[in-house]
Each structure stands twice: as structure tokens, then as C-alpha cells.
Amino acid sequence: MNAPKHSPWIWVGQAAIGASALGLWEWGARAGTLDKFFFSRPSDVAARVWQWVTSGSIWPHLGVTLLEALLAFTIGVFLGVLLGFLLARTPTAAVLLEPYIRMFNALPRVVLAPIFLLWFGLGIWSKVTLGVTVVFFIVFFNTYRGVKEVDPVIVNNARMLGASESQLIRHVLVPSALTWIFSSLHISIGFAMISVVVGEYLGSSKGVGYVISQAEGVFDTTGVFAGMTVLAAVVLMVGAAVERLERWLLRWKPESPIRAGERDL
């Protein structure tokens, strides 16, 4: 983190950009340049979010979405890290499975959603499964690469100093792969949310995706935007928590390349 990011002027500038975009939108909707039916208005959206929060009607939906995303994320990360490690340490298995992993990864996951709906029903598990298929591949590829790219000199040094295979994994391979795994966790959190919301959108009776789809069904643009706002806020909060954890775990790094990359985004 370098100085300019913390400077109050940057903060003021960022706020100004957001405020002017919202202001322009609000002004356009009020002046009639933007059709209120199709574009709604920031003030209406804010009022709707406020109403959802104060009446408490959004919480059960948000709860379901978060639960699904959390399950998808946890299961996906667990499987991805596990398989990434296994395949990176057993090259034969990696060679055998490679074409299939590539094939499944090439498949657009949205097309699986209807299948999962048929298999697992309208409840949370069809969404969780969809999320897992997305999260798994991101984490898997990063873990695999992270373990593969460990500096051989570091590994040899540890072996000369008496490390057993399990100590090698714990003290050398896992920490070394952490940078990669963490860069994938960042992305996975967002993708887990997106995929469960897509799942809800396609067929469910609860969740933020369901709320959005219901609003869309009655041409309630304000409801759609309000749903998006809630989602974005939640993803940002969860992302910030992951970043804190990551900063602590990667405190041995002079400047994390992940954060450097993120700033470029």
C-alpha cells in the first residue's frame, strides 16, 4: 500500500466520481432524459433498499444467498486446494486427468444450472453445486500452479535440513502456494456470489436472485437495481474481510502482487 492511496484527496476524488455519476443519473431521470420506467432513480433505489432493511424483508433472502455462497465457496475451495495439491505432487495423475479437467473448465457453467435444478431441486443445493463448479476450478488451477512453481532451491534446502514429506508440505509448499491460492480466493468470493444468484434467478423461492427475478417479472426496475445494490455491498464487505485475512497471512511479503494487480483493475 503506497501513500497516494491513503491521501485524503484520492478519497475525495473517488467520492466525487461516484457522486457525480449518481447525480447525473438522478438529474437525467428527473428531467426526463432517462425514462424512469427503464432506468429508475438513485433516490428511489436508495429508498427501496432502506425500506427492505428497516422492514426486515430482505434479511431472509440475503441469509439464504449468503449461506449458499458460503457453502459453495467452502466446498469449492476445499476440493480445489485438495485436488490441486494431489495432482501437483503426482504428475502421472495430472497427465491422465488433464484433458477432462480442461474440458469441464471450458464448459460455460450457466448451462449446468438447469441440469442442477433438475437433479437437486429448487432448494439451496442446486445453487451450491453450481457455485462449487465455478469456485473449484479457479482455486484448483491456482493451487496447482502455486505448488508447481515453488522454488526448487528452497525445497532442496529444506530437504537437506531434514524435512519429511509432510513437513515439506506444511512449511514449504502450502505457504508458497498461499499467494496463488489467495489470489484465487479474491476472485472466488465474487464468483461464488454471482453463480448462486444466477442459480436463484433461474429457479428458486428464496434469495436475492429470486428477489431480482420477481422484480423483473413485474417490470419493477427499482427493485432490480436495489437487489443489485444489496449484492454489491455484501460482496464488497466479504471481500474486505478476505483481504484483511490475506494481509495477515502474507505479511512476509514486501508488496503483495495481488494487491498491486487489483489496483490495476
Residues forming the site for other proteins (CB under 8 A): 151, 153-154, 156-164, 167, 171-172, 175-176, 178, 250-254
Question: How far is the C-alpha of 237 from the C-alpha of 67, rounded, in Å?
Answer: 15
- Is the CB of 134 or the CB of 177 nearer to other proteins? 177
- Is the CB of 90 or the CB of 157 nearer to other proteins? 157
Instruction: Kindly state the smallest distance separating residue 3's Cβ from other proteins, in Å.
Output: 19
Instruction: Kindly state the smallest distance separating residue 96's Cβ from other proteins, in Å.
Output: 22
Burial tier of 176 (Cβ tally within 10 Å: 0-12, 13-18, 19+)? middle
| Per-residue CA distances from 145 to 67, 80, 112, 129, 233 (Å) | 29, 12, 26, 24, 32
- Is the CB of 133 or the CB of 143 nearer to other proteins? 143
Cβ distance 96 to 39 under 8 Å?
no
C-alpha cell at 245: 485475512
Residue that the C-alpha cell 502456494 belongs to:
177
Instruction: Kindly state the smallest distance separating residue 259's Cβ from other proteins, in Å.
Output: 16
Question: How far is the C-alpha of 237 from the C-alpha of 113, rounded, in Å?
Answer: 27
- Is the CB of 31 or the CB of 160 nearer to other proteins? 160
Instruction: Kindly state the smallest distance separating residue 172's Cβ from other proteins, in Å.
Output: 7
Instruction: Kindly state the smallest distance separating residue 176's Cβ from other proteins, in Å.
Output: 8
Residue that the C-alpha cell 440475503 belongs to:
62
Question: How far is the C-alpha of 78 from the C-alpha of 131, rounded, in Å?
Answer: 13
- Is the CB of 82 or the CB of 155 nearer to other proteins? 155
C-alpha cell at 82: 485438495
Cβ distance 148 to 140 under 8 Å?
no
- Is the CB of 71 or the CB of 178 nearer to other proteins? 178
Q: Which of 250, 240, 247, 233 is nearest to 50 (CA)?
A: 233
150: left (phi over 0), alpha (psi -120 to 50) or beta: beta
Instruction: Kindly state the smallest distance separating residue 157's Cβ from other proteins, in Å.
Output: 4
